[in-house]
Each structure stands twice: as C-alpha cells, then as structure tokens.
Structure 1
Amino acid sequence: MRVVCAGDEFISGDLLARAVEVELERVGLAGKFDVLDTPWPTAPFGEVDGVREAAGDPQRLAELVRGADALVTHLAPITADVLAAGRGSLRVVGVTRGGPVNVDVPAATAAGVPVVHLPGRNLGAVAEFCVGTMICAMRGLPAAAAQLSAGQWDGGGFRYDRTGLELRAATVGLVGLGAIGLRVAELLRAFGSRVLAADPYADPAAAQRAGVRLVDLPELLSECDVVSLHARLTGETRHIVDAAALAGMRPGAVLVNTARGELVDTRALDAALASGHLRAAVLDVFDPEPPAPDDPLPRRPEVLATPHLAGASRQVAEESAARIAGEVARVLAGEPPEHCVNPDVLAGPPT
C-alpha cells in the first residue's frame, strides 16, 4: 500500500507515517510512504480552492497522490483537483480532525473515496483549557499578572468587590452538550459546580449521567456565572450570543468561547465588557481568525485571549495520529471505519 502522509508542525508527516505503518502491520498489510510537511502553524491556514482551514500546496499534493492508496493528513488541502489526481487508486482519505473542513467532501463522494475523521479528538485538551481559564477569568488573574509583569503591584485584588467566585460556588452553563461539553461537565462536577446546558439535540440520559440539567438558552444565560460555548457553527448558531443574549446574562458573568468565533457578535461583546455588564471573557477563537489588528477585544485587560490553542497538546497530536491510522487501516483491510463523513461510498457503486 502506498500512503501519502501530509503533516505539519503539530502532527508531522513522519508521525502519521509511523502510526499508519503500525496499523497496517496489524491488519497484515505493508506500506510505502511519501511524507511532506507544511509550516503550519508558523504560517497560517486559510481557504484553498474551495476548502477551509487548510495549509499547503494542492498541486504538490496532487503530484504525490497519483497512484496512492491512501492520503492521511491533519489540514492539507484535499481539493477536487487533488482527489481527481488520485482517481482510480485512492481508496481512503484520513483527516485527524473532528470536522474535515479541509476536504472537498462532495468531490470525494463523487470519486467514491471515503473520508474518515476523528470526532472529539481534542476533547480532553479543550475541556481542561476551559476549566483552567474559567478559574483564571473569574479570579481576575490575567489582568493581575499583566500588571505585575509591567512592574505594577496591585494589591487591590484582595478587595471584596474585586474578588471572584470559586468553581464550587459557581453555576456554569454549557451552550452545546456534545463530546467536549460532556467532558467539561464531568470536570466541573469534580469541582462541585452546578452545571446547566442548552442543547436541543442533547441526549437527556447522557446529561443526567454527567449531572447536567438541560434548560433553554434564556434560562441558562440568566442563571449562570460562567457561560461556555461548545456548539457547532450552523446557520442557527451564528451569533447565538448577540446583544440580546449578552443583555440576558447575569451581571458580572464570564463568557468562554473555544468553539467558533462566529458564534459571538464581537461588537456586542465588546460593549458588554466596556459597560461592566460582563466581568470577563475567555476567547480562543475569533471572527475573523486571526483577529484584525484593530480588534479591541484581545487588548482588553478583562479578556484572556489565546490564538486558537485550546486543542493543542502532545496527547492530541500523538493520539490523533494513532487513531486516524487505525481508521485508514480498517478501510484498506476492507473493514468498516468508526467515523466516516460519507459512509454511502463504503457500500461501493450502485448495481
């Protein structure tokens, strides 16, 4: 089997190749590997020939994929031209992401190529990031650390009116209760937090097991000290946190967004912070991304802003490579994968 492994500075092509080699041996197959890497995240990703959040040269990838049995990547641009170059040989595309937006899925489906992926691949890293930054934001730590770094000792953080809540005393609302939301709920339960969730598609049994009470969005906003966003971006959820939603939040609450920047009306959020209605915000995602140089939110002292790092951990890189290797090996061995975005192609062409 010839496998093209297109990596980057987070999940390298060599890491992918080693993982696929192990899994191919497990199913009795041997592999030959072509490896290339892009300079992401040193160089940003973007839109490439109709796919999103992609990095790399599709022409170079198309050259390598000719005659290949499998293509495995993190965020290389799997465009219609790349898939066309693999026509007749390419049997599977593996993407180490929850949502393979860097793949032209309709083109893959038309070519009869299954696209396997990894839902929830970074849920542990994101959940820990959420809980850790909730603590930082509620206690005012980012602004205090910045002042001390600038040579200013601010002892006023011990004034009662400036102190924040501990998680054990906080009600936390999760907008979206998928894999990441459930993991956040489990961690919060260990702290003693009361946890609410708003998600019309949530599994009530899973929510009950995690100790979460399902409510509608207005109730969640009005009752919670912290609101953390975990919803997918759809037409329904774009700007789900708008001026009206922010006005409905409890005064002094904290907003955490590690999902998608487009979920939040950023101008309305800036106004809510400027007025003092919200205590703080944690923003790991932006609209657009990276944020514009004149975007006021990352510069606000009450905002903990990070450059889309919630899912960055060594475990994510290593485990993602191993998991996608298993999915690719299963397809090449004629076995069904666990997660495929276009499962109809697995049945083959209609007779």
Structure 2
Amino acid sequence: MPIPLFSWWGGFVKCLVTAAFHEDGLKVLRELMDVEYRSWRETRKIYLDGGELASLIENVGADVLVVEADFVTMDTIESCDLKVIASCRGDPYNVDVAAATAKGIPVVYAPGRNTVSVAELTIALMLAAMRRIVKADRILKSGTVKYVSEGEFVDVYNAIVGFELKGKKVGIIGLGAIGFEVAKRLKAFDVELLVYDPYVDPKRVKAVDGRMVGLEELFKESDVVTVHCKLTPETAGMIREEHFAAMKPTAFFVNLARGGIVDEDALFKALKEGWIAGAGLDVVQQDPAQSDNRFLTLDNVVLTPHIGGNTYEVVRRQSVMVAEDIREVVKGGKPKNILNPEVLRRSGGN
C-alpha cells in the first residue's frame, strides 16, 4: 500500500516555485501545501549560484522546490532539506539528479512540454527564411521605401523574392518527439521527407512517409535541412563545412536543437559566401543570441533568441505536469515523469 510522503516528513509541507507557473498548476499544489510563488519572469532573477538558491530555499522554509531556469547544484541539494525537486523542463540539465538521488530526493520533470511549440516555430522559421519575411519587414521599416518610380518598386520586389515550400525535399535530422511533430506538419505542404536518425525505428519513419538516408545524402538532396537531434558527445560539431558545401545554393538550413551540433564558423561562411540561400536559427553556440551576434549581419538569416518553448501553452503544460507528479509523490503514488524512481522504492513508496 502506498505510503504518503507526508508520513515520512512528519507533517507540514511548503513549496517554493521559481518557475513560470500557470494557475491550474498552482491550484493543485495549494491543495497539498503552502506555496511561495516567485516566478523568474516576474522577479527577473535566475539563480545560477547554488549558494544563493540555497539561501532562498532556507529563508522560505521549503521542502518542495519547483524550478525552470535556476540551477539546482550538488551544493544546493546537500545544504537544504528538500524532499521533492521538480524541473519544468524536458531536458532537466539544470538539476544535479545524481546528487538528488544520493540523498533520496525524487526529481520529476516535464518531457514533451514544448514539443508542439518548437515544431510550430520550426515551420515558422522555415517559411520566414524562404519567403524573406523578416527582410521585407526590415526594408519597409527602414523608411526609405517610397515607390517614387517603377524602378524602385522593382528593386524592392527583386530583393525579397522567395521560395515556396510545396514540393521541396526537407531533410530532418533527428526524428524524436519534436522531429516527428515537424514531419507531421510538413506533410500538409506536400514535401518529400528525408530522415537521418541512426537510432529511429523504421516504422516511425514510415508513419510520416519519410525516407531514411545517410547524413551526407540528406545535405546533398535537401532543399531544407532542419535539425532536431539532442546535443551529445556524438552529435557535438556533427554538422561541418563539408555538409554545407554539399548543399544546393537554393537550400535553407534550420536549427532549433542546439548550437553546439553545428560548426558555426562553417555555417556563417556558407551563408555569407552564398553556398546556401539562407537559414532560420533559434539556437547558437553562445545561447541565447544577443544583439551583437554575427549572424545578424546577414540579411539571409532569421535569428531568434531561443524562443522555441516560449508560449503561454508551454507554461500551462509544464505546470500541470509537474504539479500532478508532485501530488503523486506526496500521496505515495507513482509519478508519470520521474528521473530517479528508485528513490521512491527505497523510501517505501511505489
């Protein structure tokens, strides 16, 4: 029979939430415990220093910690009396899970929280780059377009002529959750899908009418290449100069995965020298992008500051996911998304 976590703690529980959190998630937590809500979006504070976060936790008197942008380090975990940690991320690299596990602290997270939002932004950046949408907007906002002659009208239109997506070959690198959602949306554009993913189930590729190819073939054949694999030691720097050199001069490159997957010098060179037609980037090596990023000097690039998961829907989704899992842990149940389930078994839970 499940043993409520309340019985392990001996009573009152308090939760500190520094993540952006929807009211639906806060309601779940408030039915369980007292909640101190300090969203980083409102405080404009992100805790990168473990000691500083530990001081806040102790001042609040929190047993449960919910973070999104803050880093929960080994020092934080060892110096605080936490009973549950929740990371509102699909890739909870901001929590030292090993340290939490060693101390018997369950860590829950929010896989898939931003799958839809990143997939939609992928299509948006793809179309924005191919149709020169941002360039057209900048030209008009420059205040220099008056159409005082037919020639000026022609010059403007010639500067922003674009490409259709329909009928193109789109190469997807990584057919995980996000890559798969991108593929599903691309089917509406009547594209031919090429897939590079050494670990994917062929049935998954078939489900989106894709064709499995090697990495070199994908770059050579594709009109658009979009990256959705994880950054690992295997994929770090995987996309190199020879890949861009093999692309068509009319092709586009899109990256919403991680900047470290790409040789950024090679990409910049390819874009500046016209090896490829353009790019849509939400991630760079120095992430998120700032106003001094060199890619902003190129008018064939659409660059955004890592906004793939920056939607209201993501906030609600992550909030409800982790709140419901915290409730399961507290009541001695089985959370859906837990990184270290062994700590529950060790403590007498499911």
TM-score with structure 2 setting the length: 0.86
Aligned partner (choices 24, 30, 36) of residue 38 of structure 2: 36
Any idea what the Cα deviations from partners look like across 1:106-141, whole Å, max 9, x if unmatched? 110111112111112101111111111111111122
How do 1:86-101 and structure 2 match up within 5 A? Answer: 86-87=80-81, 90-101=82-93
Aligned match of 1:5 in 16, 28, 32? 16
Q: Structure 1: give runs of 5+ residues left out of the alignment.
A: 50-55
Q: 1:332 aligns with which of 330, 333, 339?
A: 330
- Alignment equivalent of 1:233, drawn from 231, 238, 246: 231
> In structure 2, what is the equivalent of residue 215 of structure 1?
213
Amino acid at match of 1:146: R
1:72 aligns to 2:66 (yes or no): yes
Q: Which residue matches 1:151?
A: 143
Residues paired across the two proteins, number? 330
Aligned counterpart, 2:26: 17
Q: 1:180 to 1:67 in 2, by over 3 A?
A: closer
8 Å CA contact 1:252–1:276 kept in 2: the answer is: no
Matches of 2:177 and 2:27, distance apart in 1: 28
In structure 1, which of residues 113, 134, 137 is the aligned counterpart of residue 105 of structure 2? 113
Q: Which residue of 2 aligns with 1:316?
A: 314
- Deviation of 1:164 after TM superposition, in Å, equals 3.3
Range 178-187 or range 326-335, more displaced? 326-335
Return the alpha-carbon distance in structure 1 between the equivalents of residues 291 and 316 of structure 2. 34
| Residue aligning to 2:192 | 194
| CA distance 1:60–1:47, shift in 2 (3 Å) | closer
Amino acid at match of 1:33: V
1:280 to 272, 278, 298: 278
* 1:276-297 deviation per Cα after TM superposition (whole angstroms, max 9, x unaligned): 1111111111111244665321
* Preserved contact between residue 258 and residue 284 of structure 1 (Cα < 8 Å): yes
TM-score computed with the length of structure 1 as normaliser: 0.85
Q: Which has the higher contact order (CA 8 A, sep 6+)?
A: 2
Query: Is the partner of 1:278 in helix, strand or coil?
Result: coil
Consecutive unaligned residues of structure 2, counting only runs of 5 or more, are 1-11, 146-152
* 3-state DSSP of counterpart to 2:277: strand
Aligned sequence identity (%): 34
**How big is each residue's C-alpha offset from its partner over 1:184-219, in whole Å with a ceiling of 9 and x where there is no partner?**
011001221111111112122222112222222111
| SS of match in other structure, 2:166 | helix
Aligned equivalent of 2:55: 60
1:154-173 to 2 correspondence within 5 Å?
Answer: 155-156=154-155, 158-159=157-158, 163-173=161-171
For residues 212-242 of structure 1, the C-alpha deviation after alignment (integer angstroms, 9 at most, x for no partner) is 2222211111111111111111111111221
Shift of 1:5: 3.0
Contact between 1:175 and 1:230, CA under 8 Å: does it hold in 2?
Answer: yes
User: Are the counterparts in 2 of residues 5 and 16 from structure 1 also a CA contact under 8 Å?
Assistant: no
The answer to whether the 8 A contact 2:290-2:305 is kept is: no
